[in-house]
């Protein structure tokens, strides 16, 4: 992990004792830059506590619906990273970045495609 990621992680305010509001902002979350922050706010997500109560998949579908455009799947990966961080302020650094979720998504797609291929082979 790079020093800049370590320092950013250390600078993020953590959730305090139970009942205390999470002081992090959306932009404190890794992978959330100005564009993703704008997207989240357009979907009614204005703070980390609201984000923690949302489904990344539903946010992605709502963004596609509200913009009328197909979104890059990396947007879904970024939403997954952001929601995971909102749920767990102590999430390991390697699970805070969107490309972690891209890898998982691609592995899942590959397994699904392999499963379809096996079913076709059995029918033949």
* Assigned token pair, 17: 């004792």
pLDDT digits (tens, 9 = 90+) for 91-118: 999 999 999 999 999 999 999 888 766 6
Instruction: Round to whole Å and give the CA distance between 70 and 51.
Output: 22
* Rounded Cα–Cα distance for residues 28 and 7 (Å): 12
Q: Taking the model in full, what pTM does it have?
A: 0.77
Give the per-residue pLDDT at 87.
Answer: 97
For 46-98, what is each residue's pLDDT tens digit? 999 999 999 999 999 999 999 999 999 999 999 999 999 999 999 999 999 99
Q: What's the pLDDT score for residue 2?
A: 40
104 or 20: whose pLDDT is higher?
104
Dist CA 38 CA 84 (whole Å):
19
């Amino acid at each position: 992990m790079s020093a800049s990621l370590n320092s950013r992680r250390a600078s993020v305010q953590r959730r305090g004792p139970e009942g205390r509001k999470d002081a992090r902002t959306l932009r404190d979350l890794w992978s959330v830059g100005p564009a993703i922050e704008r997207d989240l706010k357009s979907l009614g997500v204005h703070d980390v506590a609201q984000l923690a109560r949302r489904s990344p998949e539903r946010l992605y579908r709502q963004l596609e619906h509200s913009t009328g455009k197909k979104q890059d799947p990396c947007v879904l990966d970024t939403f997954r990273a952001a929601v995971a961080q909102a749920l767990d302020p102590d999430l390991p650094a390697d699970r805070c970045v969107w490309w972690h979720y891209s890898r998982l998504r691609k592995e899942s797609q590959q397994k699904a495609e392999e499963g379809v291929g096996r079913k076709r082979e059995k029918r033949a």
